[in-house]
Amino acid sequence: MGEIHPMVEMADLSFSYPGQEVLSAINFTVYSGDFVAIIGPNGGGKTTLVKLIVGLLKPSGGMLRVNGKTPGRGGAVIGYVPQQIKHNDNFPASALDVVLMGRHSPDKRWAFFRGGDDRTAALQALEKMGMEKYAERKITDLSGGQRQRVLIARALVTEPDLLVLDEPTASIDTKGQAVFFNLLKTLNKDLTILVVSHDLLVVSSYAKSIACVNKRLHYHDIVGSTTDLMNAFYACSVEEVCPVETVVRGLNKNTFLDLPRHD
């Protein structure tokens, strides 16, 4: 992956909808090769933060750079895996068609017949996700977890520098989630990964660092020990109302309540 450099930089970043501030004073840098889990309560601005990074929303204030450039200006290729896609139950596309969407770009319009290399790349991406035997299946006939893998294949086929996933395991069962995060861990060898999740305990065993978003952002490097991890979670929950608090307290009141307070 080359030398470590800042992949996403935010300085005093803020975003608000009319009459409602969603994110404020966010200072956060994601370095290349990192595997960041973004956690936080519902409505805390996780998805908004992700949409800012991929360029679907424009910041209201502050600085945001992806690989040194404004999002959407060609700084880095971002592979985006959305939370879920609200399409018809019968959308007419095979899994392969969906992955091929990742190979299309506006300057390829005149090429009426697609080159074989696009197809090869798409099939390879599906293979990487263990989905090659479903290539010709209708996308809507696949299960939630299988569809999620196809969407990741679609993101991978764009040859991204940064993979951004918004709640990717919402439709996968617990066993499937472990497999899924192991897969992300493998992908992390060549890719910077940013994943939004509300499932703290699953995320904690795979992510290298954690950002807690609840209007503000707290960043924690996971050094390795469980105590450090819980510390991060706990600290995050002291200042904001984070779901972490309930999880941690629910797990073991006595151990965690006397942890040192986060600045």
β-strands 78-81, 216-221 pairing: unpaired
Residue 251's alpha-carbon distances to 40, 61, 247, 260, in angstroms, are 18, 39, 6, 18
**Nearer CB in complex with another protein: 139/222:** 139
Q: Please report, as residue ranges, which positions from 118 to 157 form the binding site for another protein (by CB under 8 A).
A: 136, 138, 154
Binding residues with another protein: total (CB under 8 A): 29
Site string for another protein, 211-240 (x = CB under 8 A): ------------------------------
Output the smallest distance, CB 38 to another protein, in A.
18
Q: Does 115 bind another protein (CB under 8 A)?
A: no
Q: Does 171 bind another protein (CB under 8 A)?
A: no
- Order of strands, sheet of 20-31, starting from the edge strand that comes earlier in the sequence: 20-31, 6-17, 61-66
- Judged by CB under 8 A, the residue of 41, 59, 82, 243 near another protein is 82
The whole-angstrom separation of Cα 235 and Cα 252 is 15
Q: Contact, 34 vs 193, CB < 8 A?
A: yes
The whole-angstrom separation of Cα 25 and Cα 63 is 10
Q: Contact, 62 vs 23, CB < 8 A?
A: no
Output the smallest distance, CB 167 to another protein, in A.
14
Token pair 């290349």: residue: 32
Interface positions with another protein (CB under 8 A):
54-56, 72, 78, 80, 82, 85, 87-88, 90-94, 97-98, 101-102, 104-106, 108-109, 112, 136, 138, 154, 158
